[in-house]
A and B are shown apart, each in its own frame.
Chain A
Amino acid sequence: MRSLRPTQTLPTSVPITYTSGEQVEVYRFSLPVTIGVPLIALFLQAFLPRRLTFFSYFDLPLLVTIFFAMARRNPIAGLLTGAAIGLTQDCLTAGPIGVYGIAKTVVGFAASSLGAKIDAENAATRALLTLAFYLLHGVVYFGVARWLLSMSQRFSWSHGVVAGIANAVLGVGIYFLLDKLKQRT
């Protein structure tokens, strides 16, 4: 029975996924980058909206989550990164700890799973994916807040789409900068 299984990978082997006939590269990051970039994103998210009101439309921790998840292309690493960033963000809010954690865990998992299957190096693809993940993040957040916690949160699709587009545009720029911190495996 065991020999009838479709494919087997040795523990030491690296699974290779292809998209459009090209190998998808997997990246890793140094420890200072792994810890420092999310912390800086959280700091800027807490600090800048007081000075630049429009900045509250952006969600830097989400953009960083998407970037790390898609670059690592490992669903477990992606969901753990999302959980860690989301929980830290929760700690800085007035609400219960875990709402952003759950939302960013889902996004991290989805981004890394999708990143393993499609080429996400292209700017347009990245922008579209960021918009989709922003909306996914919003839906999960409001779902948890409303149905699990009975909080009086309301989701506005128009606001979500506009903010999603803004985040997508900013995201492309930030991904470009963060690309320089990538290390090939």
Chain B
Amino acid sequence: MESVLSRYRNLVILVGVLFLQVLGLAVQVKRSGDAQDTRLIRIWAVGAVTPMEKAVVALQNSGGNLWRNYLYLRGVRAENRQLKEQIEQMRLEQVRLNEDAAQARRLQSLLAFKEQYISKTVAAQVIGSIPTDLSRGIYIDKGSDHGVQPDMAVITVNGIVGKVLRVFPSSSLVLLINDQTSGVGAVLEKSRLQGVLRGTPNGEVVLDRVMSDEQVSPGETVLTSGGDQIFSKGLPVGTIAKVGAAKDLFLNITVKPSANLDKLEEVLVVLQKQEKQAVAEDVPRARAADILAQRLPSVPDQPATPANAGAKTTAAGTAPPAAAGTVPTAQASRSESGGQVSSSAPNSSAGTTKLTTVGQTIDSKKSVVVPQTAKQQDSKPKPKSSAAQPDAQPPSDPDTPH
């Protein structure tokens, strides 16, 4: 016996080492259903590697920031101007969306819907990835010290990224949606077909469990369904890139993720979600002009007495409705159903968004209130009466010259 052991010593040791590892695997697999506490050996390994990654990322960022923020500022002024214009347009869009949201809340409250809100997030930087191409994951620089816990959703502004798999004191491992072991509840935006989003060995994302007799077209948007209890409903996932031949009763659908999973740099970890009953806001309907006045703080004050008009024009929201040369109510036209401001998109042209009220035109690009002449006003329908618009302020006599 002894001679056999000594003769095949190498093989015996090989078998012994392999046996120990298989035993270790067996213990882990058996315990995988239990509470997912992180093993000490994992913490040590991550603790040995992540400080190097953090240091390199910090060095890289410092160099990059120095270059971008202090040295390479070409085109910043023009970009700043463009962004300001974009903000103005988005503010107008926000007015419309607020009205839409209010309407949606009213409808949801009627149907006793419960809504989920992402109420708290923490921004994290990607410091590394899983060192193999057979599974897909990233390491982020936020861990349990920052409130991160397993199974929290990780997103970017473009779309979902994955979920937190393991948490260490100052870092976390995030399993990406293109990993083979991941699964995300998804729904197609238009057809409302539901499926399960999975990763493939080569890193693609496929939508599984959609029956082969369903009609699915490339380009359709995929959203989270909320069924996995990790991602809130309605978060963008991606678009359908390819619909392949049916396999095992199910369509073979390839999805192009909205978030660029190969080049992630910063992500958001959803720390807290709130579920609450939708409640319709019991506030009187605000006038679009008032909303605009709140949303457009940059609208400059007009000179007290413009020379050419001989009329008093002040900034929107502060202007008395009976200002000369304007129709007094200054009521934005609303859709009958929800009081939508019927403006921005149709009137947008060449980067300029105009919200046309009955009494005045607000040019978002120039941020000025353009008074309209009496002739222009005559061509437009005047409000029938203040009773038709109960939330409008009582106008003074529109024909009274000032």
A residues touching B (Cβ–Cβ < 8 Å)? 39, 42-43, 45-47, 49-50, 53, 56-57, 59-61, 75-76, 79-80, 83, 87-89, 91-102, 105-106, 109, 113, 141, 144, 148-149, 151-154, 156, 159, 163
- Which 9 residue pairs of A and B lie closest in terms of their CB atoms, listed nearest first? A91-B45, A45-B131, A56-B133, A75-B10, A46-B128, A98-B25, A46-B131, A98-B21, A96-B28
Which B-chain residue is minimally distant from A40 (CB atoms)? Answer: B52
Check: B74 CB closer than 8 A to any chain A CB.
no
- Select A105's contact among B10, B17, B24, B127, beta carbons within 8 Å: B17
Chain A's closest residue to B51 (CB) is A43
- The distance in angstroms between the C-alpha atoms of A45 and B128, with both chains bound, is 9
Select from chain B the residue with minimum beta-carbon distance to A99: B25
> Do B131 and A61 touch (CB < 8 A)?
yes
Write out the residue numbers on chain A whose beta carbons fall within 8 Å of the beta carbon of B263: 50, 53
- CB–CB B18/A152 < 8 A: no
Least distance between A49 CB and chain B CB atoms (Å): 5
Beyond the given pairs A47-B127, A98-B28, A101-B21, 11 more chain A to chain B contacts, judged by CB atoms under 8 angstroms and listed by A's residue number, are A46-B128, A76-B13, A91-B42, A93-B137, A94-B181, A96-B32, A100-B132, A105-B14, A105-B17, A141-B134, A151-B180
Q: Is the CB of A91 within 8 A of B46?
A: yes
Say yes or no: B201 contacts A153, CB within 8 Å: yes
Question: Which residues of A sit under 8 angstroms from B53, Cβ to Cβ?
Answer: 43, 46-47
Measured in the bound complex, the distance between the Cα atoms of B15 and A83 in whole Å is 12
Chain A residues near B39 (CB, 8 Å)?
97
Q: Are B137 and A94 closer than 8 Å at their CB atoms?
A: yes
Q: Hey, which chain B residues are within 8 Å of A100, CB to CB?
A: 132
- Do residues B41 and A105 form an inter-chain contact, with CB atoms below 8 A? no
- Do B262 and A53 touch (CB < 8 A)? yes
Chain A residue at smallest Cβ distance from B41: A91
Contacts known (A96-B29, A149-B29); A45 close to B132, Cβ less than 8 A? yes
CB distance from B346 to the nearest CB of A (A): 43
Check if B133 sits within 8 Å of A57, measured CB to CB.
yes
B134: chain A residues within 8 A (beta carbon) = 141, 153
- Taking CB atoms, residues of chain A closer than 8 Å to B131 are 42, 45-46, 60-61, 89, 92-93
Known: A97-B24, A98-B22. A42 touches B133 (CB 8 A): no
Interface residues of B in 101-150 (CB under 8 A from A): 126-135, 137-139
Chain A CB within 8 A of B49 CB: yes
- Residues of the A chain whose Cβ atoms lie less than 8 Å from the Cβ of B175: 94
Q: How far is the CB of B133 from chain A (nearest CB, A)?
A: 4
Does any Cβ of A come within 8 Å of B48's Cβ? yes
B72 within 8 Å of A by Cβ?
Answer: no
CA of A59 to CA of B206 in the docked complex: distance in angstroms? Answer: 26
Q: What CA separation (Å) do A159 and B25 show in the bound complex? A: 27
Judge if B88 is at the interface, Cβ distance under 8 Å.
no
Q: Which residue of the partner chain B has the closest CB to A35?
A: B48
Asked if A91 contacts B137 (CB within 8 A), the reply is no
Q: How far is the CB of B286 from chain A (nearest CB, A)?
A: 47
Query: CA A95 – CA B181 in complex, angstroms?
Result: 9
User: What distance in Å separates the Cβ of A145 from its nearest Cβ neighbour in chain B?
Assistant: 8
Tell me, in angstroms, the Cα distance from A153 to B180 when the chains sit together: 8
Q: Complex Cα distance A151/B127, Å?
A: 27
Q: Which partner residue on chain B sits nearest A62 by CB separation?
A: B132
Please, how many angstroms separate the alpha-carbon atoms of A46 and B56 in the complex? 12
